Structure 1
Amino acid sequence: MLPFLIVGGVGLAVLLISLVVGDIFDHFDIGDGAISGTALGIAAVVFGASGALTTTNGLDTLWAYVLAAVLAIIAYVIAVVFVKRLTKSSDGVPASALGLSGVTRSTVSPAGGEVSLDGPHEVERRLAYADDTIAEGVRVRVIEHAGTRVKVVAE
């Protein structure tokens, strides 16, 4: 049972690293995304967990390895399909907020602040900054969009 626990533990570590840091195999571009750290982590965790469970329930060790390998391959394929689908569905380009109006939710200054904008894709607050200090609750208009922050002026 120890090999299953080791593989499962390594898989969990790879999965956590891929989820926190990002996919560790993105830099290699192998097979158009066929190798995914997230999918490998999932497959190793499934291999370890299913092998440990089948071994503790009395299944012969050879069959435990076979069953664990089959389930790990199935989990890997499913994970790769989902990762590819999610990657293709996200365009990564935020909608421009240039010209949108909104309200300051905190005092906005050159150092920063928060605004809520009245746009179709604006559901949360945005970080904002302004040349002059603008008090909370004042209507503003976006004049510049820099990354995730917006530059605003009072209307």
Structure 2
Amino acid sequence: MLLPFLIIGGIGIVLLLISLVLGDVFDQFEIGDGAISGTALSVGLVVFGAAGALTASMGLAIVWAYVLAVVLAAVAYVFSVLVVRNLTRSSDGVPQSAVGLTGVSKSDISPAGGEVSLDGPSEVERRLAYSDAPIAEGVRIRVIEQAGTRVKVTTE
């Protein structure tokens, strides 16, 4: 009876790691002013798995494990959305546009995606990127559009 909770919690951990390493997966869609957040969804799935597994292991009826897991996951999701939204709004400074910046592709880039490192003064990490035509790793690029934290690039 614990297996569904462990699987869902495990999926949540994987999504959380992806969100932490690559950035929020749903950031590019800008749905509902951040109402759908990959990070918050991941937290909700982890809480669902943990709460369900703990409740089921205490010997309560499985229906109560699901009820408690769903309620706690919903609370964790809403709380996480609010925290992420507040942190995003409270960041220092005005977000600067990356359009026009140059850099280097850190992986192969295609319409599906890739990674770049930009040369701007406030650019200290890699960004998710995409392009109309395939770009090989190590090629100099220029940003031509920006959508959230993702950038559309072309070769210089």
TM-score (norm 2): 0.60
Give the whole-Å Cα distance in 1 for the aligned partners of 2:38 and 2:122. Answer: 27
Cα distance in 2, alignment partners of residues 148 and 84 from structure 1:
21
Aligned pairs for 1:85-104 (under 5 A) are: 85-91=86-92, 93=94
State the 1:92 CA deviation: 5.3
Aligned-partner Cα distance in 2 for 1:40–1:23: 10
SS in 1 for 2:32: coil
Shift of 1:91: 4.1
* Alignment-mate amino acid for residue 121 of structure 2: G
Identity fraction in percent: 64
Structure-2 residue corresponding to 1:78: 79
Following superposition, which runs of at least 4 residues in structure 1 exceed 2 angstroms of deviation?
A: 91-94
Partner of 2:48: 47
Write out per-residue CA displacement over residues 28-50 of structure 1, whole angstroms, 9 at most, x where no aligned residue: 11111000000000000000000
**3-state SS, counterpart of residue 30 of structure 1:** coil
Distance (Å, rounded) in 2 between the aligned partners of 1:13 and 1:51: 18
Partner of 1:69: 70
Aligned partner of 1:147 in structure 2 is 121
1:110 maps to which residue? none
Runs of 5+ unmatched residues, structure 1:
95-145, 150-155
Partner Cα separation in structure 1 for residue 86 and residue 67 of structure 2? 29
Look up the equivalent residue of 1:147 and give its one-letter code. Answer: P
- How far did residue 2 of structure 1 move? 0.5
Give 1:13's aligned residue: 14
Cα pair distance change 1:19/1:73, threshold 3 Å: same
Distance 2:61 2:30 in 1: 39
Secondary structure, aligned partner of 1:33: coil
The superposition leaves residues 88-140 of structure 1 with CA deviations (integer Å, 9 ceiling, x where unpaired) of 0014558xxxxxxxxxxxxxxxxxxxxxxxxxxxxxxxxxxxxxxxxxxxxxx
Deviations 1:129-155 (A, max 9, x none): xxxxxxxxxxxxxxxxx5149xxxxxx
The 2-side partners of 1:46 and 1:79 are apart by 11
Q: Which residue of 1 aligns with 2:107?
A: none
The structure whose Rg is larger is 1
Count of paired positions: 98
Instruction: List per-residue Cα deviations over 1:56-94 (Å, max 9, x = no partner).
Output: 110110110000000000000100000000000014558
